Amino acid sequence: MEGEGKIGPRNNVNLTFVQPFGDLLEVKMWANFNEIKHHKYRNLTYAQAKDLDEYRRFDYNTELFRNPSKDWLYYDYQKLKWTNYDIFSFITLKLSENFKIALKPYYREEEKEETSGSDKVSGRTGSNPGIQISKWTVKRWGAISEIVAEFEKIKALAGFQYEKQSWDDEPTKNYWLNPDGSKTFVGWGRYTKSINDSYRYSPYVKLAGNIDRFNWQVGLKYLKLKESDNEGYITSYDSSGNPYPQRESKLDYGGQSYDVWLPTAGLSYTITDSLEIYSSFGRTFQQPYAYMPIVNLYYNLYSKFQKMGITMQDLFKEYNPEKTDNLDIGLRFRTSRIELYPTIFFSKHKNLRTPITPGWKDPDNPSQLLKFQGNPVSYQTFVGKAKGYGFELGSNIIFSDYVTFFFNPTYTKLKYDGDIVSAGKLYKTDGKQVIDVPEWMFTSGVILNYKGFELTPTVRFIGKRYGDLAHDEKMPSYFVVDLKCAYNIKKIGPIQDVRFALEFYNLFDKKYIVSPDYYPGAPFSVYGSVAFSF
């Protein structure tokens, strides 16, 4: 991408503390601070994505024109700041050779601050080009407790997790841009207030053991979640023109509860020292996420949705947890020269995260589609079912101590199981490949080692995918070549395991699209790093 923006700086600090107390008690603590600031990339339309020769480096404006209708696209009005704080503790008490108790308390805090330019920022007298500055903070704290019992042929584990989450959403600040480059504060934008905490709790059990050459494991987890209720506010103005937040129930959302049983099972059999066959089953659960894009959409089109009789909670009615059942059957074959890991897999999905475009008409101009930022209204929700199967192969051929070849292909058929009905619109999806899922992809390359030097040329292939439910927008397949170079030194004075590395991504500057949002893939890029321990 082109422009004056920066990716970074990124500041990261990790601290680890380990303290045993005799043979019975051990305390570990890990703390992390991570902060990154970066300007946003500008995504393309599908029409632009088909002409990457022209639009590959299409980005935000790199200068101010002293014209608000253009200046809202200035790169420095499009930026993000993420900050994370994490503290994890691991307290293990060994009661005997066969029993131990573990307690794992934790605290996590995440902050996001975002500046966004917009062609329509609401104020007292209407909408004008401007910028919006928003910020939210999520705090999570909880603990995992476990009891582990180990015997000669069986291992048993029982645990319980409890977590609370608080959400603090600061009112969005709205500014209009002036022709002289200054900004005028015109009130607050989107604001939703969490009136209680979210929580989750999850008891679980696991059993594992072996009988001669058979290894087995089974597990069961129950997961219960309750989301917080959120109250909405809109900006109003007093008789003097001063803005203030006013309660608006049409902006309320949240309060859903979810629960699910999550079984797992696995079985393997060692045929020879080099060959093992295995099978595993598991159910996964993904809590709905990415609420803020819909909150922002609703706020920016508040007057339109109000006339249409649509509340924000209506947009969240289909926010259901994604559930997936996975079954794998595979082999592990290992010799001194060849490693092969073929696997066939089957999957069943419910409530897939899916982009929809309802085709709503503008209530103020019924002959036109309702639009947001110049495009028909579109948003992501959790609808649709899918079934899939496929094959993957992990393989390494070790020609010598200096040369290893690897080839890792994957074939996936993941098709919608039935048509999708969402927001009053029918989407003909039955039997079509799920969007953004290629049938074929692979990674292949060679690892060359000699006296501390390491050279790894790699080829990545992604097959064609589709960016819309109708399969009208095809993202073509592409190859990308990368190269990694490294030099390893075992010891330099008190410093050990020193590694100098240079990584060249997209070595031949291939043009490609990475997602249905139509972001161009990274051009030729070079990264350097130094790692060591002491």
Annotate 233-284 with DSSP letters as a single string. EEEEE-TTS-EEEEE-GGG-EE--EEEEEEEEEEEEEE-SSSEEEEEEEEEE
User: Is 265:219 a contact under the CB 8 Å cutoff?
Assistant: yes
Q: For residues 292 and 313, is the Cβ–Cβ distance under 8 A?
A: no
Distance separating alpha carbons of residues 188 and 123, to the nearest angstrom: 9
In the predicted model, what is the mean pLDDT of residues 446-467? Answer: 96
Per-residue pLDDT tens over the stretch 497-516 = 889 999 999 999 999 999 88
Structure tokens at 126: 């209407």
164-186, pLDDT tens digit by residue?
Answer: 999 999 989 999 999 998 999 99
Q: How does strand 379-382 pair with strand 275-286?
A: unpaired
Dmax over Cα atoms in the chain, in whole Å? 85
Q: Whose CA is closest to 140, among 184, 173, 107?
A: 107
Res. 1: pLDDT tops 50: no
Q: What value does the mean pLDDT take over residues 390-394?
A: 98
Token pair recorded at residue 366: 């019924």
Six token digits for residue 506: 């997209």
Pick from 240, 460, 456, 437: which is nearest to 354 by CA? 437
- Kindly state the average pLDDT of the residues 142-162: 95
What element of type H or E holds 49? helix 46-49
Distance (Å, whole) CA 201 – CA 144: 10
> What pairs with residue 221 in β-bridges?
204, 262
Q: What is the pTM of this model?
A: 0.87
Residue 219: predicted pLDDT: 98
Q: Whole-angstrom Cα distance, residue 307 to residue 364? A: 9
CB-based burial label for 333 (10 Å; 0-12, 13-18, 19+):
middle
Give 432's DSSP letter: P
pLDDT digits (tens, 9 = 90+) for 203-262: 999 999 999 999 999 999 999 999 999 999 988 888 888 888 889 999 999 999 999 999
Which residues are 263's β-sheet partners? 220
- pLDDT tens for 34-59 read 999 999 989 898 899 999 999 988 99
In the numeric block, the tokens 């020879």 are attached to 272
Read off φ and ψ for residue 273, nearest 5 degrees.
Answer: -65, -20
Alpha-carbon span 88 to 31, nearest angstrom: 6
Q: List, for residues 68-94, the tens digit of each pLDDT value.
A: 999 999 999 999 999 999 999 999 999
Residues 21, 470: Cα–Cα separation, whole Å: 62
Look at residue 417 in the predicted model and tell me its pLDDT: 97
At 239 the pLDDT is 86
Pairing of strands 322-334, 338-350: antiparallel
Domain range summary for the chain, segments of one domain joined by +: 1-191, 271-283+292-397, 435-534
Q: Whole-number mean pLDDT of the chain? A: 93
* Residue type present at position 142: G
DSSP bridge partners of 487: 453, 500
How many DSSP H helices and E strands does the chain contain? 6, 34
Tokens of 236: 């109003």
Tens digits of residue pLDDT in 88-134: 999 999 999 899 999 999 999 999 999 999 988 988 888 899 999 99
> What pLDDT score does 242 carry?
84
CB 171 within 8 A of CB 211: no
Confidence (pLDDT) at 3: 53
275-317 pLDDT tens trace: 999 999 999 999 888 888 898 899 889 989 999 999 999 999 9
Say if residues 389 and 344 touch (Cβ distance below 8 Å).
Answer: yes
Say which residue the tokens 């991504």 belong to.
Answer: 505
